[in-house]
Chains A and B, each alone.
Chain A
């Protein structure tokens, strides 16, 4: 089944404890992206990747890192999480960024709480 998977789905952690949220897709998609969703602020893009080893900042990259060493995986790293990073996180992918094959498909979300 074609899908975008995220792990973990739920995470409660403490300030400063490094964590990684994994994202994987099995559709051979080039474009992958991370978003956070907050009440009143909507969905905002954190980072995106056009392909392996090509990443760029979205609108809210502060406090986050990403890497794209393999086409299927795009982990989101919080090196020193803070309470203002408590949010619902989504990973998404599409075949390409531009052109006719750029319909984005979303993972189920990761709810992160930083105490």
Chain B
């Protein structure tokens, strides 16, 4: 059974710092991996989607990588800002088209 783990569970950094969020999954038979952002009490906003055949995707200050063979993805946030404070979630779509989410990393960026 596919399991998705995110480390760390919470992170507090000063403004301007570059940071890395980690996502690992137990079964490499995935179609894609997607990173989301969720603000308190709000819905999910899609940040980046990486297909299983891709190694990385970039959008602005965000860069996500995928190493399917080792079951890992990282989300790199450059020059963090207070507005980046949110919970970051990763999700994989499995070979059976189920979607499995990690528990998330709560990020707080201090001004």
Bound pair (A, B): yes
The SS class assigned to the B binding surface is: strand
Contact B44 A97 (CB under 8 A): no
A53 within 8 A of B: no
Chain B residues near A99 (CB, 8 Å)? 31
Partner-contacting stretch, out of B15-23, B61-69, B76-84, B91-99: B91-99
Number of A-B contacts (CB under 8 A): 62
**20 sampled A-B residue pairs with Cβ under 8 A:** A31-B97, A33-B99, A35-B99, A42-B104, A43-B101, A45-B99, A48-B98, A59-B100, A97-B31, A98-B97, A102-B93, A103-B34, A103-B46, A103-B49, A104-B34, A104-B91, A105-B46, A106-B45, A108-B43, A109-B43
Q: How far is the CA of A97 from the CA of B99 in the complex (A)?
A: 10
Q: How far is the CA of A58 from the CA of B91 in the complex (A)?
A: 14
Chain B contacts to A: CB under 8 angstroms:
31-32, 34, 36, 42-46, 49, 51, 89, 91, 93, 96-104
Chain A residues near B104 (CB, 8 Å)? 42
Which of A43, A48, A59, A108 touches B97 (beta carbons < 8 Å)?
Answer: A48
Chain B residues near A90 (CB, 8 Å)? 43-44
Contact B43 A107 (CB under 8 A): yes
Interface size class of A (residues with CB under 8 A): 20 to 34
Chain A contacts to B: CB under 8 angstroms:
31, 33, 35, 42-45, 48, 50, 56, 58-59, 90, 92, 97-100, 102-109
Contact A102 B100 (CB under 8 A): no
Chain B residues near A109 (CB, 8 Å)? 42-43
New A-B pairs, 18, CB < 8 Å, besides A42-B89, A104-B46: A42-B101, A42-B104, A43-B89, A44-B101, A56-B98, A59-B98, A97-B31, A97-B93, A97-B97, A98-B93, A99-B31, A102-B49, A103-B46, A104-B99, A106-B36, A107-B43, A108-B42, A108-B43
